[in-house]
């Protein structure tokens, strides 16, 4: 550490300090002047030089220098401006943009004039679901109506059900608004649930003075409606408690074991209910009126798709049919989409043996290996199949992909074959859904090859966020319903299961709200105190989710509880249950071991609340009692069809039972009994043209493109019909109707 080296180091540091910052890499020479380096290099008995600059260099070197926070801050502003600029360039305006523009206009110099005009038009404003507001919306409401004479602003909402923070809803805006309003009114009656269910929720949320963690969101017990006083759930001759907790044994368990066990316990209990319902031993009572429990009476509420899959798998093992009502998977991720691609490729090039063979081997076609081998060895039979698919190709070219698919499905009895198999209803729903999307895309593309490329691309890159792609519900009749708590809000279910309600996810993002100004804060440095505030908000929202979940049930709610351990506490044996919403209420926010958790549950129990040890037994699969199944009879055809083309729906198809193929493929002139009926073609009139939004749009488009100064060209009408997917026989009817 001589003077010569010092001079070189200082020279390098000076050059680095003076040059433009192109990177955030520090010069190695800087370390030579850190307090730590000087202390390490001081000889024994020597005195280490000290200076605030040396300590500052120590601090600089101790913390990794990063531009992450600067980049994120700058990116937020840049992205916001870029998106706004691009929208202006495209002339696009979304709902959020409308709010932003109104907000800006109200805060401008002429804002009071605009506010007065709105007040004149709407002197009274009633804002429903106000607990899901955000700062911008409330700023608009406040600017227009707050403290204005001869006006009224009524804010209606339940803060206990504010669960949509992920959509931008801000409960702290509600809390701020509540503090600015002095007239508060509360509804005191639950009109949905049985008295026992209301009482059990009252008791659970009355365990602490701050059930929802913020004094601005008090819990006020409610009473049950008079009309519900006689509601009872009876199982094997005994009236069941409205709330039942199933507690896992053991000192502790992980999330995986908890979810696996509780999914089995939930499925087993549902199986018991259904079997007892078939025997008339599981009854939903309303006074003297009683009806047996059915699968559609039961709902399992979960937080995520992963949880839903575990429950559905457990139900499937017991052969209990279920449906996930919050499914957001893309229909292009299904096997049916891939099989549809192979089918279209075969129709497009039936002369290619490998392509046609791949289509014939799909489960949709219903052929087995022996059938295909027989075709391979029979030249005439193979030629007939090639000719059949060439016919489909001609229909596709002339009339579009949907008429082609209908012809194929009719000839091959695909609908009937699928519905005769397990899961066939789900598969047929997906096939029809994909067919509709293909028809819509086909009107925008120039050729069959382009449509095949379009389908192939969507299979490779499905978009589950696109509402048009999201898988549709095949049916919710006679099925156990699995739904997310978020989607269940506002709904009600006779019997509810919450198998994973003890689970939680600790907040690790330092996004929170200032407790005085109620403004949102994102701490990019993630200081411990910021993370603690964010974690408190996470727990508060979980408490509101728990409240929403419990209040969905009418007769009964079962909960899965476990001594869950995510990370060890300071005290050996403590679980992490107190960090969950249910655990905070049961244990009043204090850590407890498994025995303490059980003691808290026992202290809560009364006539309306009970608990039981959760054990996954060896339940036998559920079997529908054939004796209770109504005898089926073929329906008698009461009238002749008025048209040979229609848009159909699943509810309509199901009501027609075995005749579904006739509804799907009305060109098939065979009745449900299999007897050929020779029916004289009815005379078509304009009044028999298909009804609905799509046919209406089609007719409207004719008048948009029509030149009324020229005679109607029948070929033009024919072309329009083909593009719209309608039968060519309507050409004469429409031509005469338009010229009349």
Domain-located, residue 106: yes
pLDDT for 538 equals 95
CATH of the domain at 211: 3.40.50.300
Specify whether 654 is located in the same domain as 725: yes
Q: What is the mean pLDDT of the chain?
A: 86
Mean pLDDT of 563-586: 83
Number of domains forming the structure of the chain: 5
Segment 108-127 shows an average pLDDT of 95
Q: Strand, coil or helix: what is 502?
A: coil
Shared domain for 600 and 498, answered yes or no, is yes
Q: Count the alpha carbons within 13 Å of 519 in the hemisphere toward its beta carbon.
A: 4
Domain that holds residue 696: 650-739
Is 144 a member of any domain?
A: yes
Look at residue 533 and tell me whether its pLDDT is greater than 90: yes
CA 384 to chain centre: 46
Do 336 and 296 fall into the same domain? no
Contacts of 599 (CB under 8 A, 6+ apart): 592
pLDDT at residue 307 greater than cutoff 90 = yes
Predicted pLDDT of residue 327: 74
Q: Is residue 623 part of a domain?
A: no
Judged by average pLDDT, the poorest of 100-109, 391-400, 601-610, 655-664 is 655-664
- Give the containing element (helix H, strand E) for 314: helix 305-317
What does the longest C-alpha to C-alpha distance in the chain come to?
118
In angstroms, the CA 174 to CA 157 distance is 9
Q: Are residues 200 and 323 in the same domain?
A: yes
Pairing verdict, β 480-484 and 298-302: parallel
Confidence at residue 543, expressed as pLDDT on a 0 to 100 scale: 97
Q: Which of 13, 31, 65 is the last residue of a domain?
A: 65
Q: Considering only 391-400, 411-420, 501-510, which range has the smallest mean pLDDT?
A: 411-420
| Residue 179 domain-assigned (yes or no) | no
In a domain, 201, yes or no: yes
87, 163, 198, 501 from 580: Cα distances, Å:
43, 15, 22, 8
Strands 231-235 and 223-224: what pairing?
unpaired
pLDDT surpassing 50 at residue 607:
yes
pLDDT at 518: 87
Let me know whether 31 and 152 are in one domain.
no
pTM listed for this prediction: 0.70
Q: What is the mean pLDDT of residues 224-248?
A: 96
In this structure, the answer to whether residues 387 and 452 fall within a common structural domain is yes
Residue 524 or 430, more confident: 430
Q: What is the pLDDT of residue 674?
A: 34
Question: Could you tell me which residues come within 8 angstroms of residue 346 by beta carbon, excluding any fewer than 6 positions away?
Answer: 352, 355, 356, 358, 359, 360, 389
Residues in the chain: 740
Could you tell me which residues are beta bridge partners of residue 611?
Answer: 245
Interatomic CA distance for residues 529 and 184, integer angstroms: 33
Residues 249, 340 within the same domain: no
Distance CA 427, CA 430 (A): 5
Q: Looking at residue 396, which CATH number applies to its domain?
A: 1.10.486.10
Q: Is residue 166 part of a domain?
A: no
Q: Is 580 left (phi over 0), alpha (psi -120 to 50) or beta?
A: beta
What letter does residue 241 receive in the DSSP assignment? P
Give dist(CA 695, CA 690) in Å, integer.
6
Beta-strand runs (E) in 30-166: 124-127, 152-155
Question: Phi and psi at residue 566, in whole multiples of 5°?
Answer: -100, -40
Residue 735 in any domain: the answer is yes
Tokens 């403004």 appear where? 519
Taking only the tens place, the pLDDT of each residue in 348-377 is 999 998 999 999 999 888 888 888 888 888
**CA 261 to CA 504: how far, in whole Å?**
17
- Among 65, 94, 112, the domain-final residue is 65
Q: Are strands 511-513 and 322-324 parallel, antiparallel or unpaired?
A: unpaired
Q: Token pair 């997310």 is at which residue?
A: 484
| CA separation for the pair 496, 550 (Å, rounded) | 8
Asked whether residue 345 falls in the same domain as residue 452, the answer is yes
Cα separation, 322 vs 294, whole angstroms: 12
Q: Are residues 582 and 657 in the same domain?
A: no
- Provide the β-strand partners of residue 253: 564
Q: What is the structure's pLDDT at 680?
A: 45
Instruction: Quick: pLDDT tens for 247-294.
Output: 999 999 999 999 999 999 999 999 999 999 999 999 999 999 999 999
Evaluate whether residue 143 is within a structural domain.
yes
pLDDT given for residue 638 in this prediction: 62
Considering the domain architecture, whether residues 24 and 99 belong to the same structural domain is answered as: no
Check residue 651 and give its pLDDT: 44
Q: How far apart (Å, rounded) are the C-alpha atoms in residues 358 and 354?
A: 6
More reliable by pLDDT, 694 or 238: 238
Say what the pLDDT of residue 480 is.
93
Domain match, 45 and 88 both: no
Task: Output the pLDDT for position 639.
Answer: 60
The DSSP line for 516-559 is: TT--EEE-TT--HHHHHHHHHHHHHHHHHHHHHHHTTEEEEEEE
- The last residue of one of the domains, among 128, 157, 186, is 157
Contact status, residue 428 vs residue 335, Cβ threshold 8 Å: no
Angle of CA points 641, 663, 467, to nearest 5°: 130
How far apart (Å, rounded) are the C-alpha atoms in residues 152 and 264?
53
pLDDT digits (tens, 9 = 90+) for 27-40: 888 888 888 888 88
pLDDT for the residue 640: 57
The structure tokens listed for 345 are: 């490729």
- Least-confidence region, from 134-138, 511-515, 686-690, 729-733: 686-690
Question: CB–CB of 379/427 below 8 Å?
Answer: no
109 and 234: one domain?
A: no
pLDDT > 90 in the chain, percent: 53
Cβ contacts of 721-728, under 8 Å, gap ≥ 24? 722/398, 722/399, 722/400, 723/400, 723/443, 724/698, 725/399, 725/400, 725/402, 725/403, 725/439, 726/645, 726/690, 726/695, 726/698, 727/644, 727/645, 728/399
CA distance 433 to 523: 45
- Chain centroid, CA 346 distance in Å: 35
Tokens encoding 102: 């109104």
Cα–Cα distance for residue pair 676/679, rounded to 1 Å: 9
């Amino acid at each position: 550490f001589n003077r010569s080296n010092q001079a070189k180091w200082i020279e390098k540091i000076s050059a680095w300090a003076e040059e433009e910052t192109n990177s955030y890499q520090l010069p190695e020479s800087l370390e030579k002047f850190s307090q730590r380096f000087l202390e390490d290099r001081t000889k024994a008995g020597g005195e280490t030089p000290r200076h605030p600059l040396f300590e500052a260099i120590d601090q600089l070197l101790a913390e990794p220098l990063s531009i992450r926070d600067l980049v994120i801050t700058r990116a937020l502003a840049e992205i916001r401006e870029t998106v706004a600029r691009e929208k202006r360039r495209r002339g696009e305006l979304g709902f959020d943009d409308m709010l932003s523009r109104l907000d800006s206009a109200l805060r401008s110099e002429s804002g009071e004039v605009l506010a007065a005009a709105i007040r004149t038009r709407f002197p009274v404003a009633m804002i429903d679901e106000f607990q899901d507001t955000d700062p911008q919306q409330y700023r608009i409401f406040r600017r227009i109506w707050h403290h204005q004479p001869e006006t009224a602003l009524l804010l209606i909402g339940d803060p206990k059900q504010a669960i949509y923070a992920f959509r931008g809803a801000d409960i702290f805006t509600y809390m701020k608004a509540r503090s600015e309003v002095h007239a508060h009114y509360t509804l005191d009656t639950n009109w949905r649930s049985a008295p026992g269910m209301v009482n059990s929720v009252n008791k659970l949320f009355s365990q602490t003075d701050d059930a929802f963690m913020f004094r601005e969101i008090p819990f006020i017990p409610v009473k049950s409606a008079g009309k519900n006083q006689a509601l009872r759930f009876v199982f094997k001759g005994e009236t069941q408690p409205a709330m039942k907790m199933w507690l896992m044994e053991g000192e502790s368990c992980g999330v995986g074991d908890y979810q696996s066990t509780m999914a089995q316990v939930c499925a087993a209990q549902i199986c018991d209910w259904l079997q007892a319902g078939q025997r008339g031993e599981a009854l939903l009572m309303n006074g003297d009126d009683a009806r047996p429990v059915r699968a559609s009476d039961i709902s399992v509420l979960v937080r995520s798709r992963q949880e839903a899959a575990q429950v559905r798998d457990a139900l499937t093992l017991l052969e209990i049919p279920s449906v996930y009502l919050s499914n957001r998977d893309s229909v292009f991720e299904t096997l049916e989409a891939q099989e549809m691609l192979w089918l279209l490729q075969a129709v497009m090039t039936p002369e290619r043996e490998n392509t046609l063979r791949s289509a014939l081997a799909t489960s949709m076609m219903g052929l087995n290996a022996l059938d295909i081998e027989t075709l391979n060895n029979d030249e005439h039979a193979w030629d007939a199949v090639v000719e059949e698919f060439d016919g489909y190709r001609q229909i596709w070219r002339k009339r579009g992909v949907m008429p082609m698919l209908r012809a194929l499905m009719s000839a091959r009895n695909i609908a009937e074959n699928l519905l005769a198999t397990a899961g066939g209803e789900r598969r047929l729903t997906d096939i029809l859904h994909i067919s509709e999307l293909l028809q819509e895309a086909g009107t925008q593309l120039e050729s069959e090859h382009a449509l095949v490329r379009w389908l192939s691309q969507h299979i490779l890159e499905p978009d589950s966020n696109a509402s048009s792609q999201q898988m549709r519900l095949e049916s919710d009749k006679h099925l156990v319903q699995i739904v997310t708590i978020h989607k269940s809000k506002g709904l009600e279910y006779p019997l509810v299961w919450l198998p994973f309600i003890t689970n939680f996810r600790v907040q690790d993002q330092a996004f929170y709200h200032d407790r005085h100004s109620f403004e949102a804060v994102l701490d990019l440095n993630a200081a411990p105190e910021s993370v603690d505030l964010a974690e408190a908000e996470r727990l508060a929202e979980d408490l509101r989710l728990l409240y929403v979940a419990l209040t969905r049930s009418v007769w009964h709610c079962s909960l899965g509880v476990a001594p869950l351990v995510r990370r060890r506490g300071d005290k050996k044996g403590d679980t992490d249950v107190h960090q969950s919403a249910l655990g905070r209420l049961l244990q009043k926010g204090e850590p407890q071991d498994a025995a303490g958790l059980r003691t808290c549950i026992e202290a809560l129990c009364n006539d309306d609340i009970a608990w039981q040890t959760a054990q996954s037994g060896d339940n036998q699969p559920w079997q529908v009692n054939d004796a209770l199944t109504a005898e089926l009879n073929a329906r008698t055809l009461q009238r002749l069809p008025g048209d040979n083309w229609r848009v159909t729906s699943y509810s309509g198809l199901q009501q027609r039972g075995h005749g579904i193929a006739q509804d799907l493929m009305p060109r098939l002139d065979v009745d449900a009994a299999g007897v050929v009926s020779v029916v004289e073609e009815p005379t078509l009139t304009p009044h028999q043209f298909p009804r609905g939004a799509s046919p209406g749009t089609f007719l409207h488009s004719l008048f948009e493109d029509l030149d009324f100064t020229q005679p109607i060209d029948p070929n033009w009408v024919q072309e329009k019909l083909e593009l719209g997917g309608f039968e060519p026989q309507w050409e004469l009817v429409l031509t005469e109707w338009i010229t009349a």
